[in-house]
């Protein structure tokens, strides 16, 4: 019951944030172009959301240079995901591997029937089967909760506001006494603050879904401590080998289980992921509430010996 109430609160919060983002799009469109601007903003929002809905998975996998992996190539990886998908009551997703050294993983796809899970070479080398299984549980929870679709819609709406802000730069400017043209100061404020507000709302949506996927993934795998250990390892290695901000992979940072980009201090405020230390703390709290089980033995039953490779080269 407590978990159900938490999910309801998170769902209401996400819906409220998306509603606020939509209202911001409408207001911005009306401010930029009046009635025609409102119509243009609405059409642009629908077009970008449709693109995100149908093609976000292909774009994400292409950006990560991810290759599909068959059951023959990675039998134990497939076995892990199949077992977790069956426990979650959802279809088996497509599996992909991205040949980059940084340890990370992500899920993509608009719903469980059109989903894909991608892991990097780095994460396969770094984590034990128990930890990898917990990470896969996190990603399957994103799929089950439709988080990819929600994040894609939020990103599309934020993109509309940024496009409208750029368009506002070409508006004819007047003075504060001129009723027919916008005040230059108002234009400047909207151009700067509009995209920032949209970005912050998008971050709030993304961070909330990460916390929920951690909790749901921990319950799905039955091993929150393994997920905490995995996040700790991934955080350490992503700090040692961050992706360059201009790399093709960087555009998919919001999808990954851990932020792959460099940045501390003020830059950390704009990360799409919550602080890893906070996520680990929450997972350890969940572990204290779950009944003790032989998680490591269960994971090894699926994965086999930890020293054996997860894929066949």
- The pLDDT value recorded for residue 126 is 96
Could you list the active site residues? 139
pLDDT in tens, the chain (313 residues): 545 555 555 556 556 666 666 777 777 777 766 777 778 777 777 777 677 777 778 888 988 889 999 999 999 999 999 999 999 999 999 999 999 999 999 999 888 898 999 999 999 999 999 999 999 999 999 999 888 777 777 777 777 777 777 766 666 555 545 555 555 666 666 677 767 777 777 677 778 889 999 999 999 999 999 999 999 999 999 888 887 776 766 777 778 899 887 655 444 445 668 899 999 999 999 998 877 554 444 444 444 433 345 666 5
Are the C-beta atoms of 87 and 107 separated by less than 8 Å? no
pTM: 0.76
Q: Read off the tokens for 144.
A: 């089950």
Is 30 annotated in some ligand binding site? no
What does the domain layout of the chain look like in residue ranges? 19-302
pLDDT at 93: 96
In this predicted structure, what is the pLDDT of residue 81? 97
**Cα angle vertex 216, ends 206, 286, to 5°?**
105
What is the rounded CA–CA span in Å between residue 211 and residue 258?
12
> Is 210 flagged in the annotation as binding?
yes
> Given strand 116-120, what is the order of strands in its sheet?
66-68, 94-98, 116-120, 105-108
Please say whether the dihedral angle defined by the alpha carbons of residues 142, 74, 126 and 60, taken in this order, is positive or negative.
Answer: negative
Return the number of other C-beta atoms located less than 10 Å from residue 289's C-beta. 8
Q: Looking at residue 249, what is its pLDDT?
A: 67
CA gap 108, 10 in Å, rounded: 20
138 carries a ligand binding annotation: yes
pLDDT of the residue at 297: 44
């Amino acid at each position: 019951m407590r978990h159900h109430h938490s999910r309801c609160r998170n769902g209401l919060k996400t819906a409220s944030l998306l509603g606020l983002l939509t209202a911001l799009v409408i207001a911005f469109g009306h401010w930029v172009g009046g009635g025609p601007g409102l119509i243009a903003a609405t059409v642009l929002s629908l077009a970008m959301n449709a693109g995100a809905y149908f093609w976000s998975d292909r774009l994400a996998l292409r950006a990560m240079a991810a290759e599909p992996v068959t059951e023959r190539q990675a039998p134990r990886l497939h076995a892990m995901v199949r077992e977790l998908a069956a426990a979650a009551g959802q279809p088996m997703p497509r599996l992909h591997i991205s040949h980059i050294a940084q340890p990370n993983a992500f899920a993509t796809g608009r719903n469980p029937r059109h989903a894909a899970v991608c892991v990097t070479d780095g994460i396969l080398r770094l984590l034990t089967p128990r930890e990898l299984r917990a990470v896969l549980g996190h990603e399957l929870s994103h799929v089950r909760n439709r988080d990819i679709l929600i994040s894609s819609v939020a990103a599309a709406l934020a993109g509309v506001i940024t496009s409208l802000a750029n368009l506002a730069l070409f508006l004819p400017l007047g003075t504060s006494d001129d009723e027919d043209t916008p005040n230059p100061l108002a234009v400047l404020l909207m151009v700067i603050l509009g995209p920032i507000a949209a970005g912050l709302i998008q971050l709030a949506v993304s961070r909330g879904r990460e916390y929920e996927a951690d909790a749901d993934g921990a319950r799905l795998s039955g091993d929150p401590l393994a997920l905490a250990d995995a996040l700790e390892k991934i955080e350490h290695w992503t700090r040692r080998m961050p992706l360059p901000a201009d790399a093709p992979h960087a555009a998919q940072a919001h999808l990954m289980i851990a932020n792959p980009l460099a940045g501390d201090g003020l830059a950390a405020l704009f990360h799409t992921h919550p602080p890893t230390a906070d996520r680990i703390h929450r997972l350890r709290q969940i572990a204290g509430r779950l009944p003790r089980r032989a998680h490591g033995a269960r994971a090894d039953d699926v994965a086999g010996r930890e020293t054996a490779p997860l894929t066949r080269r």
